[in-house]
Structure formats: structure tokens, C-alpha cells
Structure 1
Amino acid sequence: MKKIILSASWLLGISLFSSPMASTHWNQFRGPNDGVAPNAKLPINFSDTKNVKWRTPIHDLGWSSPVIWEKQVWVTTAKKDGTELFAVCVNLETGKIEHDIKVFDVANPQNEWSHLNTHATPTPIIEAGRIYVHFGSYGTACLDTQTGRKLWERRDLNCDHRVRAASCPIIDGDLIFLTYDGVDQQFVAALEKENGKTRWMTKRTYKSGRVPPKDKPNDNRKSYATPTIIEHDGKKQLISPAAEATYSYDPSTGKELWFIRHGSGYGYNVTCRPIFRHGLIFTNSGISKKLFAIDPSGSGDVTESHIKWTTRRGVSNIPAPLIVGENLYMITDSGGMVSCYNAKTGKQIFSERLGGLQNHWVSPVYANGKIYFFSKDGGASVIEASSEFKVLSKNEFDTVFVSMPAIAGDSMIIRSDTHLYRIAKGYEIKALPKIASTTKRSKNTKGLSKKPQQRNPNNIVDVTAYYLGGKTNSKGIFECSFLIEEPGVPKDEWPQVKFTGDRFQAAFSGYKQYQKVNLDLAKRTALRKK
């Protein structure tokens, strides 16, 4: 590792608004303060090598976001076919893997619509000495963070997620809360943190009566949102979005307090975690893309009485809003449209495009006057957090970002589809091995550029590779990837190459996962190894 500038700023311990230990405790999905780290001094220019302290490969595939407690960073991952589920711990300072724990074996994993989700998408939640890892209907477990020993597990809470689970666990007091919004049944459960025993379970009550497409029965009942705990008028509420309604429950008993209906359109596939600011709850309706600002003081059905403002302009399905001061920021799932609203009134302040490839599944984060956006296309954009749209930087990685960043002191941990990165000022690391004759992705088009890069004739273009799989992406274009064998290099550091385009589907889709092939990178063809 090449160290450019000696920086000890991470030792200073920066605190987040209400959490004195938040500089080293990014304990849950979106962190302890809904994606806000006000004093973190992060670089605005970074890449796969620049301003990177370390980069650690994570085996297999998962979209869970990293969580941090003191010197540990944890993520979950899974075999691509879902048969094995893991929890991985990385040392925050060195990037070295400290634990790699198989948590569960899965006999019959769900593998339909594999391009829409992974088998390890819910983000775990961590506290002193314990981490709670959740894989939806596959199971939930509590692990000792020092030894990796499993303290308890539950595998009897089930629903049909259809495209696997995504809702993350949260904790409050002595309880951990789990969400199951499947196509068959929908409920929230509270378990005792100490032993995993059920304290209460509450079923969802509201049904709109809408009929989903015939090929996806009950699709309007499934959802993937993560709840949050708020305190209003001296009483706690568990705010839990479902597919067709957002509910408030008494977190100690599970009693339903109030709900709002998501209204016209199919309000399912909700992924937004609610935010509580300025006395209002901000959440959205999923596919119907409607943002709500809700007064949490009501009871029963409060749809007509307690929604203070609502909008559809610039609202996303997957990324959640970010609130900084009185401003609410959003980015659309596709197109890179950034919108800013006054959070109290709903008045739109601006709506501008970032430009280029911008397909966002990652909610933005805020640090020290700046907002960071990460796209599925490997882009990382930074804008000024103000009432004027000002782009500060655009950075590119040759990877995919789906997971939320985590912030610790003056550094940020981001997870791609293959690696964990620690982004911090003053460091530089070596580039990943390059693949001969691969074409660089154009900034303005997805997949392979029409004009290939010139090759060094001495480079090897006929390599041994392993087929990792193919799928149709969100734009309906076929993508597939290969792992390139590099003798003398550890297997977890072997590079990958991806081919994008429907012309590759007939050539490659018949291969089995991990099948060994001869790959001609010049002609982009493969032959089976004998």
C-alpha cells in the first residue's frame, strides 16, 4: 500500500447529532442518524485506487450494507444459488478478514428473478459484543462478535418473499424487530434480544382489494422496507411501511396505533426506511412513487387527516430520502434526477440531473456539507448540500454499487458487488489486475463501447476462466461475467470480466455456473474445457 499523506484525523472521534459514539458505531442500515454524519471529513475525489486505505474482496454475493462497531466491519454474503449463508467481519484499520462464518445452510433457496435481489440483502445490526444477522425466511441468528459463536437462531418465522428478503432488523431496548411482508402472509415480529424468543407478532390489517397481474398473484402484498423507532409526545412508536399501507405500532406490545393507505397505483415493493424530522415521518409508497410527510399523532386510519404534504415529483421506488436541516433530498431510481424540497412545507426547491449513467438503488449519505450518491453503474457523485444544485465531483469505478455506505470518523466504507473499500484522504493502493483486451465502459452508454480499446499485442487474450453466471439487467439487456484464472495470485484476487449485450446470451447462457472455459477476450468467445 502506498501512503501519500499521513493522516491521523480518524483518531479524533467525531460525534453524530445524538449519538456520542457514532464516529465508530455505524450500527445499522443507514446508520444511527438516517444517513447523516455531519462532521465526517471525507474526500470528494476517489476511485478504485485514489484515497483508498484498503480494498478487501468479499466472497460470493450479497447486497447487505456494512455495519461498524469500534474496529469491526461486518457484512453478510451468500452463495449465488442461496445454499449457504455467511457473516464476514473485516478489521476496520487493516482490511483483513477476522471472521468468515457460515451461518446457515439452505435446502431449498428461492432463485426466481435472480437479477432483482441476492440471498444476503438485509443489513445486520450490531451492538457491543453481539451482531444480529437476518436472511428473511432463511433465518435470523445472533453471533458473538469476538468469537463468532452462534448464541441463538430462529428459522421458524417464514413468508414467501418471492424475490428473497431485503427488510433489515432493528433493535430498541431488549427487543429486535423483524419484518415479513410476503405474497402469502404479512406480519411484524418482536423477539427478545437475549435469547430470540418471541415477545409479540402482529399481522398487517389493511387490504386494498387491488388485483395484481395474473402471472404474479398477490404481488401487491409484498414489501421490503425497514422500520424505525420514533418518540413522539413522550411515547415510542414503531413505524413500519408495508406494501399497501404504512403502520405505527406500540413497540412494547405490537398494538396497531394508526396507519395511512398508500393510495392509487400499486404501492408495493416498498424499500424506504422512514425518517422522523421536524415532527413528521417521511416515507414512500414503493412502485407508485409517492412521498408522504405524516403527522404521527393520530389513531386508526389517518390517511385523510394526518398527511401534511405529499408529492410524486422526483420520488424514487428504492432510494430513501435524505434530510439535512430543513431540506429533503431525493434521487430517482433511473435518470439521475436529484430533487430538493423544503421538508416542512413540501415546496420544491430544485430538480436537476446528474447526467451520464445514473441508475440508483443506494440511498444518499451526508457528510460535512456534502451529499454522496452511488449508482449501480459504478458512479459516485458528490454535490453540495444546499438549496442550489452544485456538483462537486463525479467519480467512476468499474463495478456495481447497491449497498449503503457506512461512515466511521473521517472514512467511508462502501461495498461493491465484489469488494469492500475504505475511502479516506491521503491513501492510495494498487489497481486491481487488468484484463487484456477488455473494453472500458463508456461514460454515456451501458456495457461495451462500440470502439474497443487498442490492445498490446504481447498481452494474453486467450485465458482460462470460470463462468459466474448471466442475467437480464434492469434495462432488459443480457449481462454475464467470468472469473479469470491468474496463476500465482490468490483466488479471491482473480479479476473478473463482464460482457453486456443480447448478442452474448446465445453464446454464454447455456453454461453452468463455475464451468471452466477457454475465453478468447479478443473475439469474446468461449470454449468448454475438456
Structure 2
Amino acid sequence: MKIIVPAVLLLTTLVSSAFAENWPSWRGPDNQGISSEKNLPTQWSADKNIAWRLPMPGAAGSTPIVWDDHIFLTSVADNDLILMCVGTDGVEKWRRVMGSGNQDVRGDEGNSAAPSPSTDGKHVWAFFSNGSLACFDFEGNEIWQIDVQEKYGEFDIQFGLTSTPVLHNDKIYLQLIHSGGAKVVAIEKATGKEAWVTDRTSDARLECEHSYASPIVYAGEEAQFLLTHGADYSIAYDLETGDEIWRVGGLHPPGRYDVTLRFVSSPVAKDGMVIVPSAKRGITVAVKTTSKGNITDKKEFYDWTHEVTPDVPSPLILGDLVYLCRENGNLIVLEKDSGKQLYEERTNRIRHRASPVYADGKIYLTGRDGMVTVVQPGREFKILAQNELGEAIAASPVISNGRIYLRTFDALWAIGSE
């Protein structure tokens, strides 16, 4: 029997598909935590506005990624470290074991499946805290796999190397910042072969030598670089050669050096400005993307300095404002050009590990208890909704194809219409 699809229905489907946006890395399409999707839910609960819930084989704090009808995420399964592929219908497509020997961190804080995967729409790359780095196609066929610890030295870091590699053009970049000899590495994404490696020098001491942040790539008209973050410095490198371009330090509280302060929050860069967070009780600075050399305390390269840092969640830049979600759930809003604080307001007074995400005129802030606070962006503070799933979460929200995806320690949730 021939099925005739009404023209209006076909056109609606094509338009909807054309405007659907993928989420290829843990901070979204441009590593900004920003989505252009519209008509997203503001309110939900465990039994309201839920398309589906898929139980996970184990816990993880990694953020999923989405490309068309494929969702990729890392997890533990007993003692195995696995990459999973799930359809946007909530059905698991495949899983691949990339290693074993999971290590739980500080009880409920996380484990070896903390780094998030990345995709270019044809392949997916995944990394685990044990050093396993691999590339798969969308059918789950392994293209290559390497042991990063075997190639570049054993990781010496208190809570595991949880940094997510960043994918850009034909390379995937890793920051290996720990006490065993910090390195920055560029890998050819198609082959797994080394493109370049450079030692990452620092005068950091003890636990300050460690980093749990992730690198970013900035590719503006005025500057292009890989920015690594940890061991007391943000350091920018040439994408093709690994040569150092600039570094900024002085991020610890002035006059006292705390050897336990390690970086967790990752920087964000947009429109010629880099927002550089630091460690707990530290500062946040805004510096110019066109910087050169060691710019520490060189005022001509700074836009402003703010005396508070988010510590764990990464900053968000929206228009002329910068948003800092503190570890305690307080939201700080600053003027982008001047750094002037407009407000600091309480949202959900619980640990916040996830980074803020913006879409559809709303900012989503995710607490460790699973509550997502939806905030109106702008110069005045307003909570639009607070939504609870009742499951712990450390991963950041993911937005794609009209849905919000939340990866709790127990399950993957698709929020939106069925």
C-alpha cells in the first residue's frame, strides 16, 4: 500500500529538522554553554514533561553529547569503563568497554567516567581517567585506541584526571596537568597519532599542580589558540605548533598561597575576551584574546578583575553580561565590559557541579541534588521555575532537538514531549 504524506506534515518535519541543533561537546555547539533551540520546557518533574527515562549501568558525572538521533555518554558498569550510544527514542544502540579499574572519588563526587565525549557527526572520541582515549564510528566500530598514560607518563593527581579533551578541526587536544610532569598534547583525530606535545611549565606547588578543568579552543578573527587551565595559570598555545602564546597567573588570593587550591572551573572565551576563573576563594579575571607573553598583572591586557570565582561551574557569557554560578548555588551577574557586579542572588543552596546552560531565553542551573533552577537572564534576578527529579547529578544539561537531556547518577532523562 502506498503511503501519502501530506505536504504540510512533510514541510513541518523538514523545517523542524533543519532548525534542530546538535550538542557535540560538553558545553555545546561552540563550547559556550549556549543553544539556539526554542520552545523548551520551563517546568518538569519526575512524572511531568518527561519523554523517557533510561536507567544507566553505573554512575558518572560526564555530560552527554547529541548528534541527530545519537546520544553518546560515558559511564561505569561494575568495574568497566564504557562508552554508550543511545537513540533519541531512549533505546540503547550499543556500548563499548574502553578499560577497567574504576576509581570512585570522595564518596559521592564522581569516578573515572568524568570526562565527556566529543563528536564531529561522523566519529565520536571518548577519554577516561585511566588514560584510555579512543575513536569510534557511529555504529560502534573502533577506529583507534591509545593509552595516554603509557605514552605520556603515569597520572599523579589526587582525584583522577577528569579533564575533557577538546575537539577542533582535525585534532583533539588534551591537557595533562598533574604532578607527574604536565604536558599539553595534540592528537590527529583520524589516526590517534601525535601531532605535537609540549611540556607545560609552572611554579605551582603540591595539589596546586593538579587541574580538573578542561581546555577550550578559541577561533576568533583576531586570535586563535588552545587555552589550557590549571597549575596556577591559564596558558594559550598555538593550535598547529604547540608554541606558547600567552599566560596569565596571579589567580590565587593575593598575599597567601594555599597549596590545596586546584582549578576545576574551565574558562570561556567570546568576542575578544577570555573569562578566567580560578580556585576556591580565588578571583575571576577578564583578559584580552590578543594577549602576548606573560601578562600576569599587566593592566593593558586585562579588562577587569572580580574578587569572587565560581570555583566549579564554568562561566557563561550572554550579550553584555557574564554569569558566574558559584559552588554554593549563588548566581553572580557582571557587566561584560566593566566587570561591575549587578547582583549576587541565592538559587538552590546546595553544591553545584554542573555548568550553566542558556537556551530559549532561559538559564538552567543544576544543583547536585538534581534540582534545576530556571532563571531569567538580564540585569534583574528572577527565578522562573525550580524542577526536581530526585536523583543526584553532576553533569551539565544538554539541549538538542527540542529536548533537555539530564544525566543523573542513576539514569538519562529526556525532558520534553514524547
TM-score where L is the length of structure 2: 0.89
Please tell me the residue identity of whatever aligns with 1:160: D
- Residues 385-426 of structure 1, C-alpha deviations (whole Å, 9 max, x = no match): 1111011111122111100111113211111111111111x4
Gaps of 5+ in 2: 1-8
Please tell me the residue identity of whatever aligns with 2:336: A
What is the Cα deviation at residue 14 of structure 1? Answer: 6.6
CA, structure 1 residues 348+240, in 2 after alignment: closer, same or farther (shift >3 Å)?
Answer: same
CA, structure 1 residues 119+11, in 2 after alignment: closer, same or farther (shift >3 Å)?
Answer: farther
CA, structure 1 residues 396+232, in 2 after alignment: closer, same or farther (shift >3 Å)?
Answer: closer
Please tell me the residue identity of whatever aligns with 1:169: P
Partner of 1:326: 320
Written as runs of structure 1 = structure 2, the 5 A alignment for 1:267-286 is 268-286=261-279
Q: What is the aligned-residue identity percentage?
A: 27
Q: Using CA pairs below 8 Å that are at least 6 residues apart, which structure has the higher relative contact order?
A: 2
What is the Cα deviation at residue 203 of structure 1? Answer: 1.4
| CA RMSD after TM alignment | 2.1
SS at 2:280's partner residue? helix
Please tell me the residue identity of whatever aligns with 1:250: D
Looking at structure 2, the residues matched to 112 and 392 of structure 1 have their Cα atoms a distance apart, in angstroms, of: 34
Aligned length: 396
Looking at structure 2, the residues matched to 199 and 402 of structure 1 have their Cα atoms a distance apart, in angstroms, of: 32
Please tell me the residue identity of whatever aligns with 2:409: D
Partner of 2:331: 338
What is the Cα deviation at residue 297 of structure 1? Answer: 1.8
Please tell me the residue identity of whatever aligns with 1:130: H
Match of 1:407 among 380, 388, 399: 399
What is the Cα deviation at residue 255 of structure 1? Answer: 0.5
CA contact (8 A) 2:216 2:227 kept: yes
Does residue 168 (structure 1) correspond to residue 164 (structure 2)? The answer is yes
- Residues 14-46 of structure 1, C-alpha deviations (whole Å, 9 max, x = no match): 75xxxxxxx342001111131111342211110
Partner of 2:99: 104
**Larger C-alpha radius of gyration, 1 or 2?**
1
CA contact (8 A) 2:37 2:399 kept: no
- Residues 23-72 of structure 1, C-alpha deviations (whole Å, 9 max, x = no match): 34200111113111134221111011211111111111211111011110
Looking at structure 1, the residues matched to 15 and 264 of structure 2 have their Cα atoms a distance apart, in angstroms, of: 35
Looking at structure 2, the residues matched to 111 and 276 of structure 1 have their Cα atoms a distance apart, in angstroms, of: 32
Looking at structure 2, the residues matched to 206 and 10 of structure 1 have their Cα atoms a distance apart, in angstroms, of: 52
SS at 1:50's partner residue? coil
Q: Which moved more, 1:46-55 or 1:287-296?
A: 287-296
Partner of 2:185: 189
Partner of 1:29: 26
Please tell me the residue identity of whatever aligns with 2:269: F
Partner of 2:5: none
Does residue 365 (structure 1) correspond to residue 357 (structure 2)? The answer is yes
Match of 1:297 among 290, 302, 321: 290
Match of 2:216 among 200, 207, 228: 228
CA contact (8 A) 2:283 2:306 kept: yes
Match of 2:51 among 35, 50, 53: 53
Written as runs of structure 1 = structure 2, the 5 A alignment for 1:77-476 is 77-79=75-77, 83-92=79-88, 94-106=89-101, 110=103, 113-146=106-139, 148-155=140-147, 156=150, 157=152, 158-208=154-204, 210=205, 218-261=206-249, 262-264=251-253, 265-266=257-258, 268-305=261-298, 306-313=301-308, 315-334=309-328, 336-355=329-348, 357-424=349-416, 426-427=417-418
Looking at structure 2, the residues matched to 66 and 118 of structure 1 have their Cα atoms a distance apart, in angstroms, of: 16
Looking at structure 2, the residues matched to 205 and 74 of structure 1 have their Cα atoms a distance apart, in angstroms, of: 34
Partner of 2:3: none
What is the Cα deviation at residue 232 of structure 1? Answer: 4.4
